[in-house]
Amino acid sequence: MSTGQRVLVVGAGGLGSPVLRLLARSGVEHITVIDDDIVDESNLHRQTLYTAGDVGRSKIECAEQVLRKLSPELSVRPVEGRFLPGTAMELLTGHTLVVEGADNLATKFLVADAAHLCGVPAVQAGSVRWAGWALCALPSSACLRCLFEDIPRDRIETCAEAGVVGPVVGVLGGLQAALVFRLLRGEHPGGELWHYDALKGALRKTFIRRRSDCPLCAGEIQDLRMERYTAACAA
């Protein structure tokens, strides 16, 4: 793995926890992590960075402590807040890639758009109940909008409402970390879509191609206008 790699992690929850733990000693030089939440007892089963003693504390503060203990030589920048259209590009600048573990679709689309506009790979994932997916999008490969088109106009369930199973996000976070390792080693897993169904015990890899009418890949999306991300901005 080459040196000087800088990774931005959006979300320090169920997906971000395993991703951050696995990246801490991977040889990356720097991790920026952004989250605006506090540690909640009802999330401890899946947010494995935190302990019962952290309940009520800022996630980002706890995450920084864990990362510094795991790897004292790692450069860490904790950012308390949300990943928003106004600051997305500035946050992404200077990073080798972005890993997204947000709990709502609006942020997932924002990360996809910002990464594409910055020319930075994005490793994204999502899960509901017993199943989930992980996607590696390169500037030259299919993106999240090739997969899901757009944020649903009708209101969708948040993670808290739908329920998220701890081991499912653990597996998906591990898959995200593996994709990151491969990217940092110089591989090009762009367009790889991993799907995990815990009830069926099935892990499947497919390859998605660019959709001819994808507005992001076609260059129709050239900025991050807030209204594009407010339709389903739950949580």
Of the candidates 6, 62, 60, 4, the one whose C-alpha atom is nearest the C-alpha of residue 33 is 60
Q: Which range touches Zn ion (CB under 5 A), out of 7-15, 55-63, 136-144, 199-207?
A: 136-144
In the bound state with Zn ion, the residue whose beta carbon lies nearer, of 31 and 92, is: 92
Report the residue number, 111 or 143, with the smaller CB distance to Zn ion.
143
Smallest gap from Cβ 181 to Zn ion, in A, equals 24
CB 162 within 8 A of CB 235: no
Q: Are 98 and 89 in contact (CB under 8 A)?
A: no
- The one catalytic residue in 136, 159, 214, 217 is 159
Comparison of 165 and 214: residue with beta carbon closer to Zn ion = 214
Instruction: State which of residues 31, 88, 134, 143 lies at the interface with Zn ion (CB under 5 A).
Output: 143
Residues 235, 233: Cα–Cα separation, whole Å: 7
Nearer to Zn ion, 90 or 213 (CB): 213
Q: Assess contact for 195 and 206: CB atoms under 8 A.
A: yes
For Zn ion, the binding residue among 146, 171, 172, 232 (CB under 5 A) is: 146
Residues 164-203 that bind Zn ion (CB under 5 A): none
**Interaction between residue 111 and Zn ion (CB under 5 A):** no
- Distance of alpha carbon 31 from alpha carbon 23, whole angstroms: 8
The yes or no reply on residue 217 touching Zn ion (CB under 5 A) is yes
**Site stretch for Zn ion (CB under 5 A), options 67-75, 82-90, 166-174, 215-223:** 215-223
159 is catalytic: yes
Which letter does DSSP use for residue 27 in this model? Answer: T
Note whether 214 binds Zn ion by CB under 5 A.
Answer: yes
Is 163:129 a contact under the CB 8 Å cutoff? yes
Choosing from 33, 216, 221, 232, the residue that interacts with Zn ion (CB under 5 A) is 216
Closest distance to Zn ion from the beta carbon of 146 (Å):
4
3-class SS shares of the chain: helix, strand, coil, % to 5: 35, 20, 45
**Strand arrangement of the beta sheet that strand 30-35 belongs to:** 75-80, 30-35, 6-10, 97-100, 122-128, 131-137, 192-197, 202-207
Nearer to Zn ion, 9 or 143 (CB): 143
Six token digits for residue 174: 């591990």
Q: Which residues bind Zn ion (CB under 5 A)?
A: 143, 145-146, 214, 216-217
The catalytic site residues sit at 159
